[in-house]
Structure 1
Amino acid sequence: MLLTTMIILCWLNQDSMRLYCQQKYHRSCELPGLGDNPAWRLGADITRAMGQGRDAFVAELGKRTDGVPPEPVVQLPATVAAVTVMAGAAEAPVYIAPVEVPVLPPPAASQTPVAAPAVSTVAPVPARSINTRQVILEPGDEVFFVGDSLMQGVAPHLANTLLKRFNIKSINLSKQSTGLAYPGFFNWPQTVHETLEAHRNIRLLVVFLGPNDPWDMPESRGKPFLRFKSEAWEALYRQRVQSILEQARQYNARVIWVGPPNMNTPRLSTAMQYLREVYRSEAQQYQQFYLSANDVFGYGADDFSFYMTDETGKKSKIRGDDGIHFTPLGQRLIANKVLTLIDVHQPGLSER
C-alpha cells in the first residue's frame, strides 16, 4: 500500500518534481521512457486540471462577492532575440536616459523586439516627464520589488523607509531561489505583468536578481538544455529581461535594475560579471536606471571582500559567510543607494 501510494503521488506530482530537479541540478529530469508516455502524462494533466478548477472556483466566489469578474491571466509570449554580449564592457554605476527623448524603441535592429503581453482596456495613467537624475514619485504611487534572496534582504529596508518617510506603499514579491532561467519554477515576467495589471499605482520597479541564473537552462519541454553563455541561451535570457522592461514601459513605471556584486567564488563571480552586462545594456536600451552593487561596496573589476573600510579606517562586515548574500549593513548600504535615485514630491514641501 505504501509503495502504491508513493507511485500515485509521483504520478500526480511529476511536474513539480521535474521542475525541482531542473532547478536543483540544471539538467533535464524526465524519467526514461515515461516523459512522453500518455498514461504517465495523464497524472500531470489531472493535477493541472484540478488546479485550474480550484482557481476557477475561487474566481467565481470573488465574482459573486464583488460583482466584478476577475481579469483573465495573460500568458506571456516567448519571442527570442539573438544578440551577443560584448565581453569586457565597462560597467556604469547608473544609466540615466537623455531628457529630450521620452521613450526609446525596443532593442536595436539586430535584435527581435519583445512582444509585450496584452494590456487590459483600463485607461492608462498619463505619462510623466522623465527626470535625468531620479525617479519621481507622487503621493499615492507604489513601488514593486522584484528579485531573489538578494532582494529579500534589501527590500524591507527600502519598504520601511519609503513608508515611514514618504508614506509610499510597496509590494514585495521577492522570492528565494528564483530568477529568469527557470520560469517553470517561478515565472517573473508573468508575475510582473499580473502585478502591474492588478496594481495600477505602481510607478517604480526595483529589480535585483542573478545568482540563481548562471546555469544551463531549458528552452522548452522535450528540447535539450541551452548551455550557459551560448548565443541561444543569451538570446532567450535577454528576451525575459526585455519583457520585464517592456511591461514597465507599457504601464508607465520606471525601473531601477540592481546588478549583483562580485562573489567569493571565482566561477560565480565571473558569471555575475556576464549577467551584469546583460542587465546594464538592456536597461540602457529602455532608458531605465542601472545600479551596480559593486560600486556600492567599492569593488573593482575582480575584487571581493567580506569587509568595507570607512573614511575613519573602521572595518565593517558587509557580506554573509556564504560569500553571496549580505549582512544587515550590506543590505542597508544597497537600500540607501537605491533611495538616492528616488525623489518623492510632497505637497507643501519645497524641492529637495
Structure 2
Amino acid sequence: MPASKPQTPPARPAASSLAQALLGLFATLATVAAVLVWLMQGSVNEYWRQTYHQEPRWAAWSAWPAWQLGGQWQQDMTAKRQAWADRWRQFDAHAAQVFSQLWQSAPGASAAPSAAAPRQPISASTPEPAPVAPPGKRPAPAANPASLPASQAQPRPAAQRTASPEPAAGSMLESPPEPVSAATAPPVMAPTIMAAAPAGKPATWAQAGGTIALDKTDRVFFVGDSMMQGVAPHVRRILTKEYGIDSLDLSKQSTGLAYPGFFDWPKTVQNTFAQHPDIRLMVVFLGPNDPWAFAVEKGQPYAKFKSEAWETAYRARIRALLDTARTHQAAIIWLQVPAMKNQKLDSGMQYLNSLYAAEVQTAHGMLIDSNQVLGQTEGRFNAYADIDDKKVKIRIDDGVHFTVAGQKLLAQAILARIQPVAAPALQAQRDASNPETP
C-alpha cells in the first residue's frame, strides 16, 4: 500500500496576514506612545495649556498614583541629568582654573591680572550727563546729583532727554563705540540699585544717565523668547570681539511669563544670578507668547487675558525678574515688543508693553522702543525700513520675527546703551557716583 503524502495546511489569505501585521504594528506604536506620554506627562500637559489655553482633558488622571509615578520618574531622570551636567561644568571650570594657574606660573609668563574691584554700595541717584564741550576742550566734570540741593536735582526737560538720536540705522554694527579712558569718559548710569523716583518726577527720571558702564570683569545676561534668539548673538559678538565682555544667552523659543510650568523665567533668572555674580546687565525681550488666559495658581480656573487677576499675576512675574536683577546690583534693559502683523496679537502686545513700561520704569531700568528703532511709524507694522535711502526688509513673513537686518538694528540699539570703559575709568566713575564710599 503506497505511503500517503503529508497534507499541507491551507495557506492563509494574504489579506489576513497583512491585517494582523498592521494590527500588531499599531498596538506596538500605541503602547510606545502611551508610555512616552506617561513619562513625559508634565511636558505634554504644558504644551496643551500653552497651545489651547485650558487644562488638558486628561487632567483628572493626575489624581491616580499609577499616573503620578510616570511623572515622578521623568522628574528624577531630569534631575539626575542636570546633576551630571552641573558636575561636568564644575569639572570644566576647575580644569580651566588649574590650567590658568599652571600657565601663569610658567617661566616668562606675565603677571596675573589684578582682582576685580568690589561692587560699590547702592547709589540713590543717577548722574546727569556732562555738557558737550567746545571742540578741542576737555568736558568739565559733571556735578553729582546726590550732592546737589533738592531744588537743583531735577531731571532734564523731555526735549533734552531725547536730544541724542538713535544710532544711524545704516551703520549696522559696523562701527561700535570705542572704549574711553578715565579722563575723557562721560558720566554714565552705573548698573546699581537705585531708590524710587521722587514723588512728582516723570517716569524717565532714572534714565537721565543714558548709558550703562561695563568693563571686562562684567557679564551681560540675555533673557527672552525666539525674538531674543535672533538679536542676542549680534550683541554678544560685538561685546566679545570688540570689548572682551562676556555674556550669557538663555533665550528660548516659545517661552514667556504666562506659563511657568513650561519654562519658569523668574526661577531661571534667580538661579542664573546666583551662579554668575558677575552679571551687571540683564537684557529682556519677550511677550508674543503671553497674551492668553492662564491659571494664576495651579488647579484654579483660568484667568481671562487682561482681567484684573491676570494683570496682577503677570505684573508680579515681571517684578520677579526686575527685583532679582536689582538685588544683584545689575542694570536692566527691556525691549518693548514692536508692532505685529496680526491685529489681535498687536493689540495684546500694546497692552503688555504698557505693563512692561510701568514696571521697568518703577525699577529704574531702561526701555527701548522697538517700534522707533525699526521705523514702525505710529506703531503700525511695516516689513520694510528705510536704511541708507534703500527699502530694506526687516520683518519676516510671519509678522512677528525679524530678518538679519532687523535683528542688527535692535542689537545696535542695545549696544548704544552700553558704554565700554577700561577698568580704572569704570572704577573712577562708580566711585564718583558713590561719594560716601571710603
TM-score of the superposed pair, with normalisation by structure 1:
0.77
Q: Distance in 1 between matches of 2:334 and 2:93?
A: 37
Query: Is 1:103 the equivalent of 2:130?
Result: no
Classify the secondary structure of the residue corresponding to 1:260.
Answer: coil
Please give the residue correspondences for 1:229-268 in structure 2 after superposition, counting only pairs within 5 Å: 229-268=306-345
Aligned partner (choices 320, 334, 349) of residue 396 of structure 2:
320
Whether contact under 8 Å (2:222, 2:232) holds in the other structure is: yes
Structure 1's 259 and 4: CA in aligned 2 closer, same or farther, altered over 3 A? same
* Aligned counterpart for 1:9 among listed residues 32, 36, 39: 36
- The answer on whether the counterparts of 1:261 and 1:293 sit within 8 Å (CA) in structure 2 is yes
What is the aligned-residue identity percentage? 40
2:280 maps to a residue whose letter is: R
AA of the residue aligned to 2:283: V
Amino acid at match of 1:161: I
Superposed CA deviations along residues 293-344 of structure 1, whole A, max 9, x for unmatched, are 01112224441111112463x2111111111111111111111111111101
Amino acid at match of 1:223: Q
Within a 5 Å distance, the mapping from 1:154-173 to structure 2 comes to: 154-173=231-250
Whether contact under 8 Å (2:193, 2:326) holds in the other structure is no
Does the 8 Å CA contact 1:258/1:293 hold for their aligned counterparts? yes
| 1:35-74 paired onto structure 2 within 5 Å | 35-55=62-82
What letter is aligned with 1:336?
Answer: Q
1:209-250 Cα shifts (integer Å, max 9, x gaps): 111111112223322112111111111111111011000011
Distance 1:276 1:41 in 2: 39
Which position in structure 2 is the counterpart of 1:337? Answer: 413
**C-alpha displacement of 1:29:** 1.0
Alpha-carbon distance in 1 for matches of 2:423, 2:279: 19
Given residue 359 of structure 2, which amino acid in structure 1 is its aligned partner?
Answer: E
Of 325-334 and 217-226, the range deviating more from structure 2:
217-226
Residues in 1 aligned to 2:314 and 2:227: alpha-carbon distance in whole angstroms: 19
Counterpart in the other structure of 2:7: none
TM-superposition CA deviations, 1:19-41 (whole Å, max 9, x none) = 11112222111406423233322
Cα distance in 2 for residues equivalent to 1:220 and 1:255: 28
8 A contact 1:206–1:256 mirrored in 2: yes
Deviations 1:75-121 (A, max 9, x none): xxxxxxxxxxxxxxxxx999xx999x962359x9xxxxxxxxxxxxx
The equivalent of 1:18 in structure 2 is: 45
Aligned-pair CA distance for 1:62: 7.8
3-state SS of 1:34 partner: helix
Unmatched 5+ residue regions in structure 2? 1-26, 95-160, 165-187, 200-205, 429-438
TM-score normalised by length of structure 2: 0.63
Read off the aligned partner of 2:319 and give its amino acid letter: Q
What is aligned with 2:154?
none
Matched, 1:219 2:246: no
CA 1:40 to 1:102, structure 2 compared with 1: closer, same or farther past 3 Å? closer
Distance 1:328 1:56 in 2: 37
Give the aligned residue type for 2:42. D
CA distance in 2, matches of 1:247, 1:213: 21
1:211/1:57 CA distance change after superposition, 3 Å: closer
Q: Is the 8 A contact 1:18 1:30 kept in 2?
A: no
More helix per residue: 1 or 2?
2
Give RMSD over aligned pairs. 3.2
Q: Which amino acid aligns with 1:321?
A: D
Residue type of the alignment partner of 1:141: D
CA distance in structure 2 between the partners assigned to 1:57 and 1:305 by the alignment: 47
1:140/1:222 CA distance change after superposition, 3 Å: same
Is 1:192 matched with 2:269?
yes
The answer to whether 1:177 aligns with 2:254 is yes
Q: CA deviation at 1:156?
A: 0.8
The alpha carbon displacement at 1:163 in A equals 1.1
Q: CA deviation at 1:53?
A: 4.6
Q: Distance in 2 between matches of 1:57 and 1:98?
A: 40
Question: CA separation in 2, counterparts of 1:159 and 1:191?
Answer: 20
The aligned counterpart of 2:220 is: 143
Letter paired with 1:237: Y
